[in-house]
Structure 1
Amino acid sequence: MAYPQLRRPDEDRHRRRRRQRRLVISFFLFIALVVFLESPLTRIRHLVVSGNRDVPADRVVRASGLRPGMSLWQVNGSAVSAQIAAALPLVERVQVTVRPLRGEVDLRVEEKHVVAIARQGGRYFRVLNDGTVYDEITPEDGFRWPVLTVAGLASVTPGRTLGDGDAVSVCRQLARLHEADVSRVSEIDIDRFGVATIYLIDGFAGQVAARQLAARFSTLLAAVSYFAQHGYRPGVVDLTGQPPYRYTPFRPSGTGGVGGG
């Protein structure tokens, strides 16, 4: 029974040595990790912006708050995306990708775009596809987009969403239509009952529920084409109900566009 007792001090010594070795190895691993995290390999060396059309890349970088030399581990993608979108009204969202081996942060931008010109009194404002008012413009700047008039709209303020649900819905729907189709629209008037009158550049107009504009647009074009081919002069086609759709010609004083009807 004495032999096992002689081995116990040796076993204790081995255990202490193993524990010491683990502590030493852990210490050096910790030092190596700290050195690695503080090394240039884990720093931002390149910031790459893509997908932007109207927003300059340098503005995206400035809004991100990122800069070369920052630690890659400090990059919070969702926070960076939210920060850029808050600073730049034309930015819808940003996909942030960190590439540690390259020391690179990619900022892929998805932009909003202008879909309409809101008119209030004698003032005009560009409106984005989410219904946000972008900026005020003058008629001399030219109107590349449909002019949007909304009955009862209290105010139009750059940086804020249009204060009318039907108007916001129309803006979102215009973004889904083909550009060639939107280019045929000169003006959209939304009344207090949520009915949108869409004036086309060929002189015809159509009435649809504002929130069904995109869904009924192809039907409107087909109806207008039918009446035009059958010799009807410009007028309003009412698509708020079921076919056959009612056609009402414009009065002579309002012929050609937004005149009476």
Structure 2
Amino acid sequence: MSDKNIVSIEDRIPKLKQARKKKANRRLIFYLSIFFFLIAIIVYLQSPWSEIRTIEVNGNVFLTDEYIIDESGVTEGTNIWSMNGSSVAAGMEENPVIEHASINRSFPSTVVIEVEEQPVLGYVQDEREFYPVLADGQVIQQNAQNSISNAPLITGFNEAQLTELATAMDNVRPSIFNMISEIERKDSDEEEDTLQVRLYMSDGFLVEGIADQMLDRLDYYPSIVSQLDEEDSGIIHIGVGIYFESFQKDEMEEVDIEDEIEELNEEINEENEETGNE
């Protein structure tokens, strides 16, 4: 026993005290850090730094930034953390013009509103101003003079007819739709509830027919044109049958597209598959 090292309690007490003091200091620093962090959060939330200073709007084409901000109800000076972004976006999407909306905070004091508007069917003209017609036939009463896209000019339609036209146009492929430069309502001796339309195509041909019948078969337009003389021009009548009325000849010529239907259907299916993969 006498050969073993014996440490007296008096020698151990200073070391124990020092260890306890270090441990207590670490705890104090930890609690003080949490305390000051909470104080900093409270000060930030109560200070102007937590207020909305900037509101950005992205994705809009026809609706103005001011209109979208007013529609959202978000205002500068409001506490940025009191805003419920999902509720604001849901309220904005009740507007028929706004197809999708999202609200995001950008630290420290910016709110970003992202919107996606409905696709554009075309434009109507009132004197020198152009107003967009949405894909559901609704006319937006905001001048789109500075944002006119390749969508066609639409003339001669009332509100109900625009809705009917929009429904019929839903079946037209984008590649064909982009070839239409103007859509005109055509006066007809047919029944009053029949909507007759005339399309002005970018390659110089005109297409006429009852809206739902003609637009349902408009995907065959390239096949129809391929059977006509390049130097020829005239009106392509699309309905139960397909006829070409030449401006150079005083006769109607029937156009047969039966051989192209199967090929076109395969092309449409391929486009749909590519869109689905994307």
TM-score computed with the length of structure 2 as normaliser: 0.52
Contact 1:98 1:105 (C-alpha < 8 Å) held by counterparts: yes
Q: How many Å apart are 1:61 and its aligned residue? A: 1.1
Q: Of residues 131, 134, 150 in structure 1, which corresponds to 2:138? A: 134
Q: Secondary structure at the residue paired with 2:94? A: helix
Deviations 1:32-55, CA, capped at 9 Å, x for gaps = 122123322232112233554432
Correspondence 1:48 to 2:48: no
1:13 to 21, 34, 46: 21
User: Aligned ranges for residues 171-182 of structure 1 at < 5 Å?
Assistant: 171=170, 173=172, 177=176, 181-182=179-180
Structure 1's consecutive aligned runs of 4 or more residues displaced over 6 angstroms after TM superposition are: none
What percent of counterpart residues are identical?
A: 21
Structure of greater Rg: 2
**Residues 56 and 235 (structure 1 numbering): CA distance in 2 closer, same or farther, change over 3 Å?**
farther
CA gap 1:203/1:175 in 2 versus in 1, 3 angstroms: closer
Amino acid at match of 1:145: I
CA distance in 2, matches of 1:184, 1:235: 24
CA distance in 2, matches of 1:33, 1:128: 46
Gaps of 5+ in 1: 118-125, 137-142, 149-155, 189-195, 245-261
For 1:43, give the aligned amino acid.
E
How far does residue 30 in structure 1 lie from its aligned partner after superposition? 1.4
Q: Whole-Å Cα distance in 1 between the matches of residues 27 and 34 of structure 2? A: 10
Aligned to 1:242: 259
* Matched residue, 1:205: 208
1:67, CA displacement in angstroms?
Answer: 0.9
More moved, 58-67 vs 45-54: 45-54
Alignment of 1:245-260 (within 5 A): none
- Residues 205 and 236, structure 1, Cα contact 8 Å, conserved in 2: no
Matched residue SS, 2:184:
strand
Counterpart position of 1:186: 184
Distance change in 2, residues 1:222/1:108 (3 Å): farther
Deviation sequence 1:143-190 (CA, Å, 0-9, x none): 942789xxxxxxx7x9xxx7x9x97473374766555x33344359xx
Q: When the two structures are superposed, what TM-score results if normalisation uses the length of structure 1?
A: 0.55
Distance 1:98 1:18, change over 3 A: closer
Distance 1:204-1:5 versus aligned 2 partners, 3 A rule: closer
Structure 2 CA distance, aligned partners of 1:38 and 1:176?
Answer: 55
The answer to whether structure 1 residue 145 and structure 2 residue 154 are counterparts is yes
User: Looking at both structures, which has the greater relative contact order when contacts are Cα pairs under 8 Å and sequence separation is at least 6?
Assistant: 1
Note if contact 2:185-2:198 (Cα within 8 Å) is conserved in structure 1. yes
Contact between 2:198 and 2:206, CA under 8 Å: does it hold in 1?
yes
Give SS of 2:63's match.
coil
Question: Is the Cα–Cα contact under 8 Å of residues 204 and 236 in structure 1 kept in the other structure?
Answer: no
Measured after TM superposition, the shift of residue 75 of structure 1 is: 4.9
Unpaired segments of 5 or more residues in structure 2? 1-6, 124-131, 141-151, 187-194, 233-243, 262-278
Once the two structures are superposed, the pairs formed by residues 63-82 of structure 1 within 5 Å of their partners are 63-75=71-83, 79-82=87-90
Q: 197-206 vs 14-23, which deviates more?
A: 197-206
Q: Pick from 214, 219, 222: which aligns with 1:218?
A: 222
